Copies of this chain bind each other. A is one copy, B any other.
Amino acid sequence: MTGSLDPTVVARAALSRLFEPSDTVGLALTVAAGPADALLIATGQAPVGTAMAREVAGQLESHGISGRPEALREALERWKPRVADLAPERDLATLERLGGILLTPESDLWPQALDDLQLSAPSCLWVRGDCSAGLPELNRMAAVVGSRDSTAYGTAVTGDLAAGLVSRGYTVVSGGAYGIDAQAHRSALAAAGEERIMPTIGVTACGVDRYYPAGNEQLLRETARRGLLVAEVPPGSSPTRWRFLQRNRLIAALCAVTVVVEARWRSGALNTAHHAAGLGRVVGAVPGSVYSANSAGCHRLLREGSAVCVSDAAEIAELAGPIGTEWVPEPEQRAAVHDGLSVEDLLLLDALPVRASTTVDKLASVAGLGIRDVLAGLSRLELSVLAERTDDGRWRRGSTHRN
């Protein structure tokens, strides 16, 4: 592999170790100077130059971020301690051993959806798994996320949603954590069987060579084998609070819809939901018992109008937008016998006795209708078998509708 490496790829690999996720100054520098020169500047091998400093400030300003003149100087100071640790060729070799590739914005396989993150977009994506066809397109990706301490209810719903999404052709994206995340990956893999589809993608806060949490190692390995593991930090990186929070924005950006299955009043899953809403993506929340603290965060999203109520995979598919001919059938389609009746006919039907029979005059009085209307209405109800005439010319409810 050495020797044939694209210098842009190498530079971006290095920058992803130098910069923490969402280092806006770093991203602005990369945009302004290009990856290779940005690396030279960020590592102190090339001077900044007044024009470049101004361009970086301009990049920041154009994204609504205050571009103070000192920002770049302070950033250089911040990056300096990591320069000695840079070894992008080694990191890329590690990724290759794991069967992965580095995706960069310059690649045809780069998921365009990440560009919506603007100056918070990742420098590159470290992808483990078969990514030869790229990631599925935005409207085929649905995030299913939630609490680590999920309940039996949350686990069951997650399983049904993930399986239903995969069977409809969606890829289930989640964060590889315990609880809801793990169940989402597990059920997506189970629903896909050994078919050649992309059932699930795990977006990790640590390097894709690491298994965090350790208890999910087998699941994460299987996710990499039959789906993908994706991270913006290079191999070997440990998961930190900051990286967890930032990882959530990647999940939100990659998916047309993000569904929160269970979340407490304060929960990282809500952070993902807010990222999604901020990016203009659709957010869904699964309702649950008002007595369950694990549903309180979902109900909060619903109450605040930040999320749409979703009960099954079909409803999520509807939110994700069409990838085929998705639609949500109305349950309990069976119409009631009185559906579509006019007010007069409904009044008349109510007035018709179920067991005994009655006269037209009596019906007129009980229903509060004129004699002519009663006669006309009885003809219509008789046609619908809702009314029937007795042998002696009286009327009663139709025999099949005596409820």
B81:A361 contact, CB within 8 angstroms:
yes
Does A295 sit at the interface, judged by CB under 8 A? yes
| Chain B residues within an 8 Å CB radius of A315 | 303
Given A77-B372, A299-B309, decide whether A290 and B157 contact each other with a Cβ distance below 8 A: yes
The chain B residue sitting closest to A244, CB to CB, is: B350
Closest residue of chain B to A346, judged by CB?
Answer: B242
> If the complex has contacts A331-B296, A343-B242, are A85 and B365 also in contact, measured as CB distance less than 8 A?
yes
Return the chain B residue nearest A347 by Cβ: B242
Q: How far is the CA of A309 from the CA of B364 in the complex (A)?
A: 44
Output the least CB separation between A75 and chain B (Å).
Answer: 9
Q: Shortest distance in angstroms between A376's beta carbon and chain B's nearest beta carbon? A: 12
Given contacts A19-B368, A242-B343, contact A290 B266 (CB under 8 A): no
| A17 nearest CB across to chain B (Å) | 9
User: Restricting to A237-255, which residues have a CB under 8 Å from any CB of B?
Assistant: 240-243
Number of this chain's copies in the complex: 2
A343 to B241, CA, bound (A): 10
Say whether A82 contacts B347, CB under 8 Å: no
A273 within 8 A of B: no
- Residues of B with C-beta under 8 A to A368: 18-20, 23, 78-79, 81-82
- A309-B303, A315-B303, A331-B296 given; A74·B242 CB < 8 A: no
Q: A264 at interface (Cβ–Cβ under 8 A)?
A: yes
Write out, one digit per residue, whether chain A residues 255-299 have a CB within 8 A of any chain B CB (1) or not (0): 000000000111000000000000000000011111101011011
Does A208 interact with chain B (Cβ within 8 Å)?
Answer: no
Mask: chain A, 296-320; 1 = CB below 8 Å from B; 0 = not: 1011001101001111100100000
Q: Check: A330 CB closer than 8 A to any chain B CB.
A: yes
A273 → chain B closest CB, angstroms: 14
What size tier do the contact residues of chain A reach?
A: 35 or more
Residues of chain B contacted by A51 (CB below 8 angstroms): none
Map CB proximity to B onto A216-246 as digits: 1 under 8 Å, 0 otherwise.
0000000000000000000000001111000
Partner of A266, one of B18, B78, B266, B336: B336
- Nearest opposing residue in chain B for A339, CB measure: B266
Q: Does A351 make an interface contact (CB < 8 A)?
A: yes
Contact A302 to B296, CB < 8 A, known contacts A241-B338, A373-B78: no
A68-97: which residues lie under 8 A (CB-CB) from chain B? 74, 77-82, 84-85
Give CA–CA (A67, B118) in the complex, Å.
Answer: 60
C-alpha gap A153/B19 in the complex (Å): 51
Interface hub of A157, A242, A288 (most chain B Cβ within 10 A): A242
Nearest residue (CB) in B for A266 is: B332
**Could you list 8 further interchain pairs (A-B, Cβ under 8 angstroms) beyond the known A81-B369, A287-B295?**
A19-B368, A20-B368, A77-B371, A81-B365, A241-B338, A296-B311, A302-B309, A303-B309
* A interface list, Cβ under 8 A from B: 18-20, 23, 74, 77-82, 84-85, 153, 156-157, 240-243, 264-266, 286-291, 293, 295-296, 298-299, 302-303, 305, 308-312, 315, 330-332, 336, 338, 343, 346-347, 349-351, 361, 364-365, 368-373
